Structure 1
Amino acid sequence: MDIIKKRSEMDPKYTWATEDLYANDKLWNDDFDNALKIVEQLSSFKGSLGESADKLFSYLKLNDELSIKVNRIFNYAQRKFDEDTKNATYQDLSSRIKNLSVKIGSATAFETPEILAIPEKTLDKFYKDNNSLLIYEILINEIRRKKEHILSEKEEKILAAAEDLASSPSNIMSMFRNADLEFPDVTDENGNSRKLTAGTYTSFIKNKDQRVRKEAFMNLHNTLDKFKNTSASSYFAHVKQLMFYANARNYNSTLEKSLDESNVPTQVYKNLVEAVHQNMHYMHKYVKLRKKLLNLDELHMYDLYTPVVKGTSEKITFEEAKKNVYEAVAPLGKEYQAILKEGFENRWIDVYENDGKRSGAYSAGAKVHPFVLLNYADNINSEFTLAHEMGHAIHSYLSNKTQPTPYTHYKTFVAEVASTCNEALLMEYLLSKTTDKVGRANLINHFLEQFKGTIFRQTMFAEFEMLSHQMAESGKSLTADVLNKLYYDLNVEYFGDDIVVDNEVALEWSRIPHFFFNFYVYQYATGYSAAIALSRKILNDGDKAVKRYLKFLGGGCSLTPIELLEVAGIDMKTSQPINDALELFGSLIDELEELLAD
């Protein structure tokens, strides 16, 4: 969209249906007050969870009731806030739900210590006394698994009360990036002044005119440079709060604590980094080919995203994208397609950018139905983003539909599998119906971009996060200069000798919101590797593989993430899925070079 409209000017059919959560703010406020009453009821159970099976069951059942209500409250407040981060009304609602989270944590701080204090024999007797309690057995076992990391009730209450303060660095940077940060306009290839935002930057950096790409790159990163000390201070504060919690809970590192939330061994993270380093030659080979295909004497960082295939049009309307995604997932069966169609037709998606809207894309798995945020830009990248986020959405939908309340929220380790499997199926579909050489080359180039962006780039992010945390844990201050050098050096290592690593790219770390998500990004790379393997199983093995995959999608957190992927047929305890994916990356590079050979 050339003109960034105000939220009030957007066509409702391209906005998500928040009225499915609450018809108005008053109803939200009423439910918010009701949630506070349930919190008070939960606090009345203090000191009694080990008394009887019925007491423990009543508490956990009431906790489920609160969870369902908070899910609705949170989604309304956060979705309205993300529509327009400048709207003071929803800034307030967003703040209030964070305060509610703190109150819940404080009021229920007794829960974990009391459950841990129940002797095994007593707990076994509870299950016999009240069979309904068995639904919570997995939940109770997960709590007891972390026994050595759980503190006294008083200490747990203090940590819960500090959560709001601990989230401040992330909240500050989110407001700074989405509401306050503004960039100089960019003069496009036709001489027109165009607004540069976090959303439009993607289009500019893919422009076929190198001058436009460079101007957007410089405008964005030079602006980030002006605020580098603020960004570094916020990031360091985030790292320090995570160090505090890791230390308080007796973990050896922030990495160990973060991965333990999903019950994933740290070795999985380190295996990823090691495997990518062992296959780094594939990325260097791709960069060399990109330089050759663009016919540039010097390849710069702002040349990494522009299409290398000439004479192709990337304009893809939202309606076309929906049709392609729907047909691409046909191998997953009619049930899967029906859910996708429901999402398309019943306003699960907020489609276009508007002034103040949160940048990027995501899917939020509300129980009423998922909500998908896009900033759709009529290009192939947006088409794949649609496929990606709807993969998340259907994963959430099936988990909510299949699992009881305690197990609906799948762990972050498996979060990117369904989304990237959708992307892989879309790529296979588009390749299957493309016969001309140029069209196929264009799609393969995009496939390569996915590998580059999801495995290599996200692993580089993961390594930056790991190394910066290790620096802080060893007592080093994370100043802007320290972070810039670390990020710059990683770019040099990952992209190789056939590119000029521009100094400005050193600031890129300061615009990546996921660095405030506690070691989240590595899961894009592991998830993508698993998804590539799954997509091939689905296409090659048919119904048998589809049934296993759908069982995985409906698994929620009823098993550990590693076990869930084993249900689908993937073993992420090894580096094999990563190595196989990168081997495919290498073969696609060869095919692209052959297709575009003179």
Structure 2
Amino acid sequence: MVKNRNEIDEKYTWDLSTVFATDEAWEAELAEIMTALDEAKAFEGTLSESGQALLAVTDAQLALMRRIEKLYVYASMKNDQDTREAKYQEFQAKATSAYAKFSQVFAFFEPELLEISDETYAQFVKAAPGLEAYAHYFEKLFQNRPHVLSKSEEAILAAASEVLSAGSETFSILNNADLEFPNVKNEKGEEVQLSHGNYITIVESKDREVRKGAYEAMYATYKQFQHVFAKTLQTTVKTHNLNATLRHYASAREAALARNFVPEAVYDTLVSAVNKHLPLLHRYIKLRKEVLGLDDLKMYDMYTSLAETDVAYTYEEALVKSEEALAILGEDYLNRVKTAFKNRWIDVHENAGKRSGAYSGGSYDTNAFMLLNWQDTLNNLYTLVHETGHSMHSSYTRENQPYVYGDYSIFLAEIASTTNENILTEHLLNEVEDDATRFAILNNYLDGFRGTIFRQTQFAEFEQAIHLADQKGEVLTSEYLNSLYADLNEKYYGLAKEDNPQIQYEWARIPHFYYDFYVFQYSTGFAAATALAEKIVNGTQEDKDKYISYLSAGSSDYPINVMQKAGVDMTKEDYLNDAFKVFERRLDELEALVSKLKE
């Protein structure tokens, strides 16, 4: 039975008293913030009066946001530890309202700032040298000038935002609330209702009939509603393209990547490099077919583990293993890891009502907390080092950057976490002695690489294709989307679309296609992390120092520049080719191990 929160040993829970000592202290801070927000309304219309005025408004805005973020962290994490508690549901709602009020109060900031000419801004900096601390922050905002509309036009778009998000919201409601899946049989032969939550577990089954049943039931449901999903996706794509046109971008992709100042060359380079290396994926598919002993490998055979051995770690064993692996990053990094592990930064075990999954969170003025739902598995060991990577990134950034640059873009976020995973893989492979465990580790790595770099790039190709098609006047019917997706899937996996008819409907269940060119960052992040881990494990002290500099950079520079300083140029193919070399090396080893185990 799942324990209640009060039955969990305190040492396995995060210590949120380091954020606010008591709930009463949180409530007092909320009251002070709401008063401060009311007082901040007086700033509107004053920003362009002088350099001192610009500095005062900017200081006030960032100071209030810093306080609100800390307020929200406490409320949201208290709620996550047991989502059934009405008190913390209310706390989170109040913190969200504080965010909303902040946005309303400071809605004037960017429009007023962008009305300041370059010449006037230069005069302001001379008159108020304190503005120099915000140079990069303002530089990024000023780059939006060509894409910011008049106040009246911006007001119209803001008013229409709820209508324009209808496609995405309709998809979410249909997919998460209204869609009902049929009953299927699990490994025990029991009938269970298929759901988003249990689908992956069932399709990973060692029993082929079980995974086939779940797979066919899942896509039969999406086939039934394919026309509705085509309409929700088409509506979202049209919204992205309309927004790009109105804001004077050449395409929706350019508009989306501009938010993180990422050149489109990064996207195109990724797709080109992955396509060149598809023969490696085909080799892995062939090996999977051989190990499973199948003449007719299907898409529903992609997710079951090839390993016969289940590698298990207790939480305490995982802490030790993580410290051993991450020690390669140096004494300072390891000491930070030990601090996180010992000082209750982590909420470890599942309890009734606790939020599912795992994450790293916190704000500039808190610890970089981690939420887990621990199980004694190899995957959970990887989850621990993954979230630790995020937390160390946050720790270094917050210690080395002022608040204005004390966070990092999504484009950079997954690199730190996945670098840790790659370092762990190297460590485990170096110390493992038996072939069965080695097989399981290699299989885990290759499946992760396939599911991230290959699969997410396939998604990225599809996303770009449908936006371009709409831009050219193509109607995104279900027939069009099915055909496009089936062709792409056949290209990537080398499995005939005629033999895998259900996969043509997969596009209908992927929420990321509504996120506006988000998915490619999973692939670039994984590839960059693979290249960085190779440098850390096999390179010089300078490579490690550069990596720590990346962790410390926050948003003080553009993401592409941060990565170049770390030794990875993401506008070129080199880092991707380096990642594929690692994949090929480990594929070679798994192929050799399969041959050895057959003897």
Residue of structure 2 in register with 1:124 after alignment: 122
Residue of structure 2 in register with 1:254 after alignment: 252
CA offsets, 1:399-429, max 9 Å, x none? 1221111111211221111111001100000
CA offsets, 1:41-64, max 9 Å, x none? 443222222221211111111111
Take 1:222 and 1:86, find their aligned partners in 2: how far apart are those partners? Answer: 34
Equivalences, count: 595
**Shift in CA distance, 327/453, structure 1 to aligned 2, threshold 3 Å:** same
- 1:342 corresponds to 2:339: yes
- 1:318 corresponds to 2:309: no
Cα distance, 1:570 vs. partner?
1.1
> 1:84-233, aligned counterparts within 5 Å?
100-160=98-158, 187-192=185-190, 198-225=196-223, 228=226, 231-233=229-231
Take 1:88 and 1:510, find their aligned partners in 2: how far apart are those partners? Answer: 35
Amino acid at match of 1:211: E
| Conserved? CA contact 1:365–1:371, under 8 Å | yes
Query: SS in structure 2 opposite 1:554?
Result: helix
Cα distance, 1:74 vs. partner?
3.5
Residue of structure 2 in register with 1:558 after alignment: 556
Structure 2: segments with no counterpart, 5+ residues: none
| Conserved? CA contact 1:106–1:161, under 8 Å | no
Residue of structure 2 in register with 1:264 after alignment: 262
Take 1:510 and 1:80, find their aligned partners in 2: how far apart are those partners? Answer: 35
Amino acid at match of 2:264: T
Cα distance, 1:253 vs. partner?
1.6
- 1:328 corresponds to 2:354: no
Identity %: 39
**Shift in CA distance, 539/113, structure 1 to aligned 2, threshold 3 Å:** same
Residue of structure 2 in register with 1:432 after alignment: 430
Residue of structure 2 in register with 1:411 after alignment: 409
> 1:43-54, aligned counterparts within 5 Å?
43-54=41-52
Take 2:572 and 2:117, find their aligned partners in 1: how far apart are those partners? Answer: 36
Which stretch of structure 1 is more off in the superposition, 8-17 or 50-59?
8-17
Amino acid at match of 1:147: R
Take 1:176 and 1:106, find their aligned partners in 2: how far apart are those partners? Answer: 31
Amino acid at match of 2:315: F
Take 1:27 and 1:245, find their aligned partners in 2: how far apart are those partners? Answer: 43
Residue of structure 2 in register with 1:275 after alignment: 273
> 1:328-407, aligned counterparts within 5 Å?
328-351=325-348, 360-367=357-364, 368-407=366-405
- In the superposition, the TM-score normalised over structure 1's length comes to 0.88
Take 2:184 and 2:4, find their aligned partners in 1: how far apart are those partners? Answer: 21
Structure 1: segments with no counterpart, 5+ residues: none
Cα distance, 1:585 vs. partner?
1.7
Q: CA RMSD in A?
A: 3.3
Take 2:188 and 2:8, find their aligned partners in 1: how far apart are those partners? Answer: 27
Take 2:564 and 2:220, find their aligned partners in 1: how far apart are those partners? Answer: 46
Take 1:370 and 1:358, find their aligned partners in 2: how far apart are those partners? Answer: 18
Cα distance, 1:239 vs. partner?
3.4
Query: SS in structure 1 opposite 2:370?
Result: strand
Take 1:449 and 1:99, find their aligned partners in 2: how far apart are those partners? Answer: 42
Cα distance, 1:23 vs. partner?
6.5
Q: Name which of 459, 471, 482 aligns with 1:461.
A: 459
Take 2:355 and 2:172, find their aligned partners in 1: how far apart are those partners? Answer: 9
Amino acid at match of 2:215: F
| Conserved? CA contact 1:458–1:522, under 8 Å | yes
**Shift in CA distance, 17/165, structure 1 to aligned 2, threshold 3 Å:** farther
**Shift in CA distance, 30/302, structure 1 to aligned 2, threshold 3 Å:** farther
| Conserved? CA contact 1:98–1:164, under 8 Å | no
- 1:69 corresponds to 2:67: yes
Cα distance, 1:211 vs. partner?
2.6
Query: SS in structure 2 opposite 1:44?
Result: helix
Q: Name which of 519, 526, 530 aligns with 2:524.
A: 526
Take 2:122 and 2:198, find their aligned partners in 1: how far apart are those partners? Answer: 58
| Conserved? CA contact 1:109–1:156, under 8 Å | no
Residue of structure 2 in register with 1:547 after alignment: 545
Amino acid at match of 1:120: D
Cα distance, 1:435 vs. partner?
2.2
Take 2:353 and 2:233, find their aligned partners in 1: how far apart are those partners? Answer: 23
Take 2:479 and 2:23, find their aligned partners in 1: how far apart are those partners? Answer: 45
Residue of structure 2 in register with 1:492 after alignment: 490
**Shift in CA distance, 178/498, structure 1 to aligned 2, threshold 3 Å:** closer
Query: SS in structure 2 opposite 1:596?
Result: helix
Cα distance, 1:167 vs. partner?
5.7
Amino acid at match of 1:46: E
